[in-house]
Structure formats: structure tokens, C-alpha cells
Amino acid sequence: MEPVLKGISRRRLLLSSAAIAGSVAVLGSSGNASAAASRVLRLASGESDGPTGTMDPAFNKIDADAARISLVYERLIILDKNFEPQPQLAQSWSSNEKGDVWTIELKPGISFHNGKPLTAADVVYTYRRLIDPKTASPVATTFGELTPEGIEAVDDKTVRFTLKSPVVEFPSLIANRFTYIVPEGSTAEELRTRGQGTGPFKVQEFVPGREPSVFVRNEAYWREGLPKVDRVELRAIADTSARLSALLTGQIDLSWDVPRVGLQALQAAPNLTVVTVPSPYVMSLTLMVDVPPFNDVRVRQAMKLVVDRQRMIDLVLGGLGKPASDQPVASWVQYGLDEPAPARDVAKAKQLLAEAGHPDGIDVELYTSEATAGFLEMAALYQAMAAEAGIRVAINKVPGDGYFANVWRKVPFLCTSKGARNADEALSQFYLSNAAWNDTHWKSEEFDGLIAEARQTLDTAKRAELYRKAQRLLRDDGGVIVPMFANSVGAHRKDLTGFEIHPQKNAQDFSQISIGG
């Protein structure tokens, strides 16, 4: 092997920088990396963007898509930070006694970017398109209760949804990342790169796979005095250190995806503000309950009992998280279970293992990867915590790329993460017996019944109790260890105002941001 000379460049640099500084002066360049105009908002998403990027709400998938779509389009109903439904394009909504017919009134005086007024026909078109098998939108499965003929325009400003069976949470159900309203007759090809919305910004330039995506102010936006910037430029900066450097040096004004660990540099930076909000973003370890030894509920309980939740939060999330109790609904979310998280109890865990026929402990293999920030640390920490109870964890680190395609739902014990969801989605999408993404293989008729009943119970207090019962059941019997929820963390330049980070990464609101006072 020959030695490599890298140091020299640093030495050489002192000479070159002087030379370059000279040449820059000669060329009369600004020599300043910050934005020329004060009214440009430069955003950076964390997940990488690329040729799959889209602005078609039906295929809203990555963070950059979600940002683009939320700049240009709007929804009838949105969720606030506690996952309660709030009106956006809707003026009001109401349902019949049973909860299987919903009527939504639109706000008056709203137009699309091309000047066409928003009417009920656009809403009908949007929803029919989402459930059309030909569209193949991932949201279609969520909308099993909808039929094309059940979506109709009563008049210009009124839409009626007639469902196959009651869904009392219909407003929350339609407040997801796919239901942005598009004009009647929009084709997939139009929507992908040059769709017309009602939102605060119009698309100026978006070529999938090319950066940045550029948006300009919608002069005719229906909310008085908004937006307060003229232009938005969006990039995806996947490399964490690059994203932080860009924030620190002022090449980016705002990112809503900042690593929770190692925030000191950002917090100490005089030109930046770090923003954070508790989010029901699930960090978890998933067990398949039909694979020994996890098929014994006592083993599952022992594996939950060894976790020191606060320590997990401190070490894996840098303190920016909230303890969870082995089920995916956070206590502050609507219908959340407000009971203290289980305390660590090694003695009880050992006893349970012995009762299950494992007096000498168990050997398990835990898969982890860098697919989600914190997985490696979470696995190592779990290994250490479990060891004291005789649960010997062998860690198997696999590539982060394709982790959710190739490892998730294929191995019996692994680190998983799930985006922030409302209570019903968090419980139903992964833990119903017939859920497409049932990664624990846990099947409980009682749980299924509770969710079905909750969905049809109009009385809010009763409904909350049913959801809470379902959560207790999952916590005590299910195959998922949820030690914690991870906060959403973002950072922006000091003189930027009007941004509140949303716990759902894909539901950020950029409409009220202003820069420089």
C-alpha cells in the first residue's frame, strides 16, 4: 500500500484561497452565500427526492412530495397537532344519526390558480379519482367505505358522501396526505408536474429529479394577507451533515427534518432557531407472535418489561421524545390512553420467562439498520437492557436501503418505525387481524371488534373508551414493543416567523411564513 497525501491539500489551500479570493474580487462576484432577495423561502426536506418525485396528491409519498403538494393544493379538512380535525376548504361538516352519510359545505369565494372557482364537482372528481382502481393510489384501501356513486355534488358548494357502513371519524379519515383537492378533469400527467391547486403558491418549475422545485406566490390566495414570501425553493438534502451545514451557513432557511441527536451545534448557532413538538412518531421493536419464543405472551411481556423508557429517550433521541406504552397511540393524541408507561422490572421479567419455560433465559436475533435514525442505538440499548433479564439479543445489522422492502415483515424480530398517525389509523393499519401491514401477525377478535364498534359509536366519550380498551389489549398482549415516541424537530433562520412544526412530517404548513420581520 502506498501512503496517501491528503494533508497537503489543506496546506495548499492557504495559497489557493488567497488566489481564489483574488479572482473572486476581480470577477466582481457577491462573495456572499446568502439569498439575494429577502422574500425567497428556501426549504430543505431530509428524505432524498428524485425522479419518483411528484406533485400528484394521489401518489404523495416522500417528504419532498408532501411539501410540494401542501404548497400548491389544499384539503377539505386538516388535522391539528393533537390530530383533531379542523376545516381548511370546508366551511362545515355534519352527518346523519348513524354516521354513514356525511355532508360537507365548501367555503365560498375560493378559486384555483387558473381562476376557475372551486365547486363541489372538483371535490367529487378528486375523491372518485382516489378510489378508482385505475388510478392505483395507495389511499384506495383506506377508503373501502367509499363508492363512486356514494360521492355526489348536492349543489355547487355541497358534497355528500354516502358510505357503505358508518364511519363516525369520517372527518379524520379524509384528512390524510392524499386528499388534496384538484380541479375536475385533471389528468395524472398534468397533476404530476403542473397541477392547479387552491393553495398559497403556484408551481413555477418542477422537473422530477431536478432541483430545486420552484413555487411563486399565488396573488389571488383566498386567505387575506398570505402568503408573505414571493417565492419558495425546495430541495432535498439527504445527507444529514450537509443539511445542517446548509442551515448553519444560511444556504437554507428552513428544514422540518433535523436529527434529534447532536443538536448542540444548531442550538448554539446565533443565526438559527430550533423548533420541536411532541409527535406520535413510533420507534418500536416488532415481534412476530406466531414464531417461538414470541408465541408465548409471557415472553412478550418479559421483553416489554426490560425497557427503561426514559433512558431510551435520553440516549437514542437526545431527550426529544415521550415515553410510550407498547402501543402506537400517544397519550396526548385524541383518544389516547393516558396511563403511565410501564416501569422497568427485571425481576418480574425473569419470573415471567421462567414461567414460560425459559429459566435460563432466551436467545433472540434482532435485525436493525440505518433505515431510521436511532435504530442502531435503540437496538444496542435494548440488547444491554434485556441482557440483565437473561434475554440474550444478537444484533444483526443489515443495509438501510430497502430495509422496509426486504426485511420488514420477513423476519420475526426487528426495529421498526411508523409515521405519526391518528388513533384509528395507528391501531387499524397494523394491528387488525386482516391489516395488509400486520407486521406482528397478532390476531385478536376482541381487538377487531373494539375498533369496529368504536368506528360506529357516535358518542365521543363511549368511542374514546372503546379505543382505549383496544390500546390496553394491544399493550398487554400484542407483539410490539414501543418504548417511545420521537419528537418532530426542525430548524430555521432566526428572522423567520410564522412556522409551527407539525407532528406529522408530511403535514407542514408553509403558508404563513415571513422572513426578515
Partner 1 sequence: MTRHIAIQAALSLLSLLLVSILVFWLVDLLPGDAAERVLGQDATTEGLAVLREQFGLNHSALARYLAWISGLLRGDLGTSMIAGQPVANYVAGRVQNSAILAAFALVLYVPVSLALALLTAVYRGTAVDVGLTVFVLLGMCIPEFVIAIFLVSLFAVTLNLFPALALLDTAQGFGDLVRMLFLPVLTLTAAMSAYSVRLMRESLIQILDSDYIQLARLKGLPNWRIMGWHALPNALGPALNVLALNIAWLIGSIVLVETVFNFDGLGRLLVNSIRYKDTPVIQAIVMLLCAVYVLANLLADVSIMALNPKLRTRR
Binding site for partner 1 (CB under 8 A): 1-13, 16-17, 20-21, 23-24, 26-31, 33, 36, 48, 50-52, 61, 133, 136, 138, 140-141, 208-212, 235, 237-239, 241-242, 245-246, 248-249, 251, 401-402, 404-406, 408, 436-437
- The closest alpha carbon to 366, from 300, 424, 316, 411, belongs to 411
- The closest alpha carbon to 355, from 306, 297, 413, belongs to 297
Count, residues in the chain: 517
Q: For partner 1, which is the closer residue by CB, 251 or 383?
A: 251
Round to whole Å and give the CA distance between 389 and 476.
Answer: 19
CB of 27 to partner 1, least distance (A): 4
CB of 136 to partner 1, least distance (A): 5
CB of 249 to partner 1, least distance (A): 4
Q: For partner 1, which is the closer residue by CB, 313 or 427?
A: 427
How many Å from the N-terminal Cα to the C-terminal Cα in the chain?
58
Q: Are 261 and 372 in contact (CB under 8 A)?
A: no
CB of 203 to partner 1, least distance (A): 17
CB of 156 to partner 1, least distance (A): 35
CB of 184 to partner 1, least distance (A): 24
Q: For partner 1, which is the closer residue by CB, 239 or 363?
A: 239
Amino acid, res. 315: L
Q: For partner 1, which is the closer residue by CB, 226 or 248?
A: 248
Amino acid, res. 189: E
**b/e for 19-33, b at 16 or more Cβ within 10 A?**
eeeeeeeeeeeeeee
Residue 402: count other Cβ atoms within 10 Å of its Cβ.
12
Q: For partner 1, which is the closer residue by CB, 208 or 361?
A: 208
Give the three cell numbers for residue 331: 397519550
CB of 342 to partner 1, least distance (A): 27
Q: For partner 1, which is the closer residue by CB, 356 or 407?
A: 407
Round to whole Å and give the CA distance between 409 and 437.
Answer: 8
Peptide bond just before 323 cis, omega within 30 deg:
no
Q: For partner 1, which is the closer residue by CB, 91 or 241?
A: 241
Round to whole Å and give the CA distance between 510 and 499.
Answer: 7
Strands 151-155 and 158-162 come out as antiparallel
CB of 401 to partner 1, least distance (A): 5
Q: For partner 1, which is the closer residue by CB, 69 or 349?
A: 69
